[in-house]
Amino acid sequence: MHIVIVEDDAVIRQELKLLLENALYQVTALDDFSDVASFVLSAEPDLVLLDLNLPEESGFDICSKIRAESEVPVIFVTSRTDSMDELTGILKGGDDYITKPFQAPVLLARIGAVLKRTCRNVKEEPVSFVHRGVELHVARGTVSFRGVQTELSKNELKILHLLFRRKGEIVSRADMIEYLWDDQVFIDDNTLSVNITRIRGKLAGIGISDFIETKRGLGYRI
């Protein structure tokens, strides 16, 4: 599946690109905003992630031009949180409206949901995962075991989401740091260790131990 990113902030653009490539999407990240609608129409992607505040013209206008000639799904990803902006986005033909800062697992789930509604043969990003009796619910940001539930922070959710998606594999610390990184919070090796410790504490609090295995010198595995 091919996704086009239209985002003028280079840091956020790279973050989105890495996130989607790690989720095995084909990604084109635009850095020329002179004629976005024409590029999208010629590229014929499966989905467009579209910012509103762009240097040449607004995301609303771009969406209108795209929608006049194509039914390609458009998800607005923007820092504008006003409900009227969200309403305008939907009226202009947008399929979803996500505000920054976004949580990576939730963004992937909503991309999967839009693709499932609009395309055939698309596997939707799961909203929950189960492994060894432990359930991770992405949309709620919780983890549960035998009916007992605890809430997760943004980084805790992202770590567990990555581990559940790659269950049985060793996930390197470098991969985790890259997945956690965003434009607002600097993530280093120590921050990762602190979050792993907190997750293990929360899992112990709901009755599950030894769920995250440390592979010394390699990373972590569930």
Predicted confidence at residue 183, as pLDDT, reads 43
Q: Is the dihedral of CA 74, 79, 80, 86 positive or negative?
A: positive
Q: Per DSSP, what are the bridge partners of residue 144?
A: 135, 149
Cis peptide upstream of residue 101 (ω within 30 degrees of 0): yes
Residue spans of beta strands (DSSP E) within 13-133: 26-30, 47-50, 74-78, 96-99, 128-131
Both tokens of 70, joined, read 């194509």
Q: Cβ–Cβ contacts within 10 Å for residue 18, how many?
A: 16
What is the phi/psi pair of residue 46, to 5°?
-85, -20
Question: Do 105 and 145 fall within a single domain?
Answer: no
| pTM, entire model | 0.60
46 is in which domain, residue-wise? Answer: 2-118
Predicted confidence at residue 116, as pLDDT, reads 84
Compute mean pLDDT per 10 residues along the chain, 222 residues long, and list them.
94 91 88 93 94 93 94 94 91 93 88 82 68 90 93 90 92 85 63 92 94 93 95
Query: Pairing mode, if any, of strands 26-30 and 2-6?
Result: parallel
Question: Do 108 and 133 fall within a single domain?
Answer: no
Residue 132 is part of a domain; what is its CATH number? 1.10.10.10
Residue 42 is part of a domain; what is its CATH number? 3.40.50.2300
Predicted confidence at residue 184, as pLDDT, reads 45
Predicted confidence at residue 68, as pLDDT, reads 92
The closest of 139, 132, 134, 114 to 124, measured between CA atoms, is 114
